[in-house]
Structure 1
Amino acid sequence: MNDSTAEPEAASSAPEASSTTPSALSACGSLTAVDLGLPHSVAVPAAKGRLPKAMFAGHDPAALSNTVRQQLTQQVESIHLLGIISAKSVHAEPSAHVPEVLVLRLQLAQDTQHFPDAVIELIATQRKGGILFVCTREVTEPQPHAPEPGTYVAYAVRRGFSARAGHMQTFERFHSPWKPVSEPQQLRVVGDSVAQIWDNLCAQIMLHKTTTENLSEDLKLFRQKAALRRDLAKLTADHARAKTIEKRNELFARKAQIQRALDQLEQMEHQSE
């Protein structure tokens, strides 16, 4: 990753929990790192919270793609550093490849319906450690993922995976469902090292499970199960529409085969827990 871009000054050291009262925590609106389920020790003082968007645009903003510029200027209203998960702030073993995890809030423009993935990509590539993006948006009219007006919050992370050892990584972005800001998905800091904590936070967002021993393998299993469930739903619908006994029997047999495969994957998952 490219680490040459200027980094937020607030990330240079984690704040001490004893020196920061709840009212003095970095927040955007009323949302703080503690509201997300994170320990008070990772929260950043309010004075260090707001980060100028220009910090992430680099020395030559004109070199940014049109998509990045459009999202940075029109979709992202403000950026706040809510917290820093480091060996010091959570009393964990340090990790060379994940020295810290920033909890970065992106306040999106009102009624924005899409994640600013280009901006997430831009910021994530500027850091060696992990970044947990906390995206918030104000909704004034009902939307598919926000049926009632109000403020909503969702998480985003960027992770890289290799098809096999020694191969180049392919990076992907993952998003959690939107939830009312008053009921955010509660995150848990679990792990002996900062790298383990980062993997487990990603598992909570990507896989809806608290911990993972192997994020890449668990993601593969998660996707295999999702694909089988989609196939099963399609075959169930086709079976209901089938006109002949022969076709219904054929579809029933295929459904049973897919169900067995799904059961086997779920059994494998339970055995690994």
Structure 2
Amino acid sequence: MTVAHCASVSALTLGLPASCAIPEAKSALPKQMFYVKPPVSARLKQRFVGDVESITMLALLRPNTIGVAAGTKVREVLVMGIEQNCKDAPVEVMEHIAKLRSGSNILFVCVRDAAFADENSNAGGKANANGNTSPAKSGETQCAFAVQRISSVRAGHQGEAQMRTYVSQWQEPKSAQLSLDGESLDDVWQNLCAQVIFGDADGSDLDARIAKREAIAELTAQIAKLEGDHARAKDGVKRNEIFVKLHKAKKQLEALQQ
């Protein structure tokens, strides 16, 4: 059996077992099926038309295809390849596809031309339907993984939990590997998410790890702003107020990083 490929990437190149790979003859997913019915906005249609070259089903992870116990929350995991014509992962496209396939968890494999990694690669390029410039093809590719998870609302923050897309760093296809660790499909999904978000296969306490990383990023940005405000402040009282806030933020960051 010839397995499905998305450019240079397949289930086998990702380190997945052949038992879960989709045959090439059944793998192509026409872009139109995602934006014709139901109809989408003109902006989103342009994303599909201009930013996406092809969409391919690479693998289907189920208890019977990867030899794990059934999950209580996760029924199946689709591994879907998106060959793109743009520099950044097409998040809007992936979010729309995920909404249409709400009964499945999806791990996206985005594949782009390696020339996009070069800031100067757009010279002489061709504009796509969105006005974005595609680079002259280098022949080499890079890939990144993406998953969606419900983000938790941290204590002291308002709002409801929302679905959020996490995208990994870009890497060469030969380095892009996935491991199917865990006794059940629930475990496998958690560990796959950890590989995308943190670069490791430890899916334990994943929501807490994500919340901690986001809190660190938020405090780091807050500290940078306060340091700038403190340096610019001329009034002594104002400088003291900012200093107190800055000291508090630094102590909070220090505690999180321990």
TM-score by length of 1: 0.71
Quote the sequence identity (%).
34
Counterpart of 2:81 (choices 105, 117, 120) is 105
Structure 2 distance, partners of 1:162, 1:229, is 20
User: Counterpart in 1 of 2:126?
Assistant: none
Report whether the alignment pairs 1:134 with 2:109: yes
Q: CA deviation at 1:172?
A: 1.2
What is the CA distance between 1:213 and its match in structure 2? 2.5
Q: Does 1:155 align with 2:130?
A: no
Call closer, same or farther: CA 1:40–1:237 in 2, change over 3 Å: farther
Shift of residue 122, structure 1, vs aligned partner: 1.5
Output the TM-score relative to the length of structure 2.
0.75
1-side partners of 2:120 and 2:58: how far apart? 25
RMSD between superposed Cα atoms in Å: 3.6
* Cα deviation digits, residues 108-156 of structure 1 (max 9, x gap): 12xx123222221111012212101111111446535999953111111
Structure 2 residue identity aligned to 1:215 = L
Quote the offset at 1:80 in angstroms. Answer: 0.8
Task: Select between 121-130 and 33-42 the one with higher mean Cα deviation.
Answer: 33-42
Query: In 2, Cα distance between the equivalents of 1:157 and 1:235?
Result: 33
Give a deviation string over 1:4-53, Cα, whole Å, max 9, x none. xxxxxxxxxxxxxxxx5xxx221122311222233333222222222222
Show the 5 A alignment for 1:166-205: 169-184=161-176, 186-205=177-196
Instruction: Measure the CA separation in 1 of the matches of 2:40 and 2:227.
Output: 47
Cα shift at 1:235: 6.8
SS in 2 for 1:190: coil
The whole-number CA distance in structure 1 between the counterparts of 2:120 and 2:252 is 31
Report the 3-state secondary structure (helix = DSSP H, G, I; strand = E; otherwise coil) of the residue aligned with 1:35: coil
CA gap of 1:29–1:114, structure 2 versus 1, over 3 A, is closer
Does 2:103 correspond to 1:125? Answer: no
CA distance in structure 2 between the partners assigned to 1:45 and 1:98 by the alignment: 23
Letter in 2 for 1:206: I
1:249 shift after superposition? 11
Q: Does the CA contact (< 8 Å) of 2:8 and 2:141 recur in 1?
A: no
C-alpha separation in 2, matches of 1:194 and 1:99: 7
Aligned-partner Cα distance in 1 for 2:97–2:232: 49
What count of residue pairs does the alignment treat as equivalent? Answer: 238
The secondary structure found in structure 2 opposite 1:179 is: coil
Q: Distance in 2 between matches of 1:153 and 1:141?
A: 11
Identify if the C-alpha distance between structure 1 residues 266 and 168 changes in structure 2 by more than 3 Å, giving closer, same or farther: closer
Distance 1:31 1:119, change over 3 A: same
Tell me which residue corresponds to 2:49: 73
Counterpart residue identity of residue 21, structure 2? A
